[in-house]
Amino acid sequence: MTFTSRRNLAGLTCAAAAGLALLADFALRLRLRRADLVSGGALLAVVFLLTLFNARKKLPFLPLWRAATWMQFHIYAGLFSGVLFGLHSGWRWPQGGFTSLLAALFLAVFGSGVAGLILTRWLPARLTEHGENVIFERIPALRAAVRREVEALVLESIPRLQSSTLADFYEQKLLPYFTQTRFLWFQVAGIHRPTQRLLADAHALDRYLNPEERSLLARILEHIQARENLDYQQARQGLLKAWLFVHIPLTFALILFACVHAFLAWRLS
């Protein structure tokens, strides 16, 4: 079965499950049964199942479906949990303080999950369109190497060319660029204005240089582009990693509060 076929089948299954949940909730309310207990129990069970995806990633050696299958289940079960939440809450915001906190936690988990789905579908393709794709953990070392190479070119120019033009340009314009990690949010948004401004300053300097200095400046410009790509990779890959540090802790907080809520509901019922 192709990926498109699996996705269509999973989507239809999710839609059918949502339809059945709506019919079951309507039938229970029509018979004056505690539909909120049923939808709440189903929601808690689905949330527990969703957490198994993280456990599956921690234990890849277990023969429990492929990771891609777990991912598809996680996505569509997460969407289905939104329907169960709506049924359980009666499609309105709860009144009590504890239940309001629980609702806010669920919406935060659900929203971060949707955001993560969008990011994991949109960002990887963009990473391959902008320079060389590098390993995230190697970016600091590569950035330091680029800076050292630029500094070596600048130091080389002083005694060989008997000129401090490139050294002055490095000290005034390039040193802050190579020593600080700035404008990462610009990279996330796809805005390259700071680097473009720096390149414009370099091209403006070009008219005052002799041929040898121009050759060194061209090599420096290549390193600026390399640094630009490293910043781009760090910003985009970091965003892919950062959302998990929001989604996973919120999920465990949701489970804890949901268990307390379920216990209180069971005692009161």
Domain identity same for 27 and 106: yes
Q: Are 216 and 166 in contact (CB under 8 A)?
A: yes
Give the gyration radius of the chain's Cα atoms.
27
CA 150: distance to chain centroid? 32
Domain identity same for 249 and 117: yes
pLDDT of residue 43: 95
Residue 41 forms part of a structural domain: yes
Residue 196 forms part of a structural domain: yes
Domain identity same for 184 and 106: no
Domain identity same for 110 and 148: no
Domain identity same for 26 and 106: yes
Residue 126 forms part of a structural domain: no
Neighbours of 7 (CB within 10 A): 14
Q: Are 187 and 231 in contact (CB under 8 A)?
A: yes
Domain identity same for 140 and 188: yes
Map 71-99 to HEC letters.
HHHHHHHHHHHHHHHHHHHCCCCCCCHHH
Residue 129 forms part of a structural domain: no
Residue 30 forms part of a structural domain: yes
pLDDT of residue 2: 74
Residue 128 forms part of a structural domain: no
DSSP 170: I
Distance CA 239, CA 188 (A): 8
Task: Take residue 51 and report the two structure tokens written for it.
Answer: 């957490």
Domain identity same for 46 and 104: yes
Distance CA 132, CA 99 (A): 48
Residue 203 forms part of a structural domain: yes
Query: How many structural domains compose the chain?
Result: 2
Domain identity same for 67 and 177: no
Domain identity same for 117 and 10: yes
Q: Which domain holds residue 146?
A: 136-241
Helix (H, G, I), strand (E, B) or coil at 202: helix
166 φ/ψ sector (left φ>0, alpha ψ -120 to 50, else beta)? alpha
Going residue by residue through the chain, which has 269 residues, state the pLDDT in tens, using 9 for 90 and above: 677 788 888 899 999 999 999 999 999 999 888 899 999 999 999 999 888 877 666 666 556 667 777 888 889 999 999 999 999 999 999 988 999 999 999 999 999 999 999 988 888 877 777 777 888 899 999 999 999 999 998 888 888 777 788 888 888 888 888 887 766 666 666 677 778 888 888 888 888 888 888 888 899 999 988 988 888 888 888 888 888 899 989 999 999 999 999 998 888 87
Domain identity same for 185 and 255: no
Domain identity same for 224 and 254: no
149 φ/ψ sector (left φ>0, alpha ψ -120 to 50, else beta)? alpha
Residue 127 forms part of a structural domain: no
- For residues 87-109, one letter each, b for 16 or more C-beta atoms within 10 angstroms of the residue's C-beta and e for the rest, the string is bbbeeeeeeeeebeebbebbebb
Domain identity same for 229 and 247: no
Give the CA distances from residue 238 to residues 120, 134, 207, 245, in Å, rounded to whole numbers and listed in that order. 12, 12, 39, 11
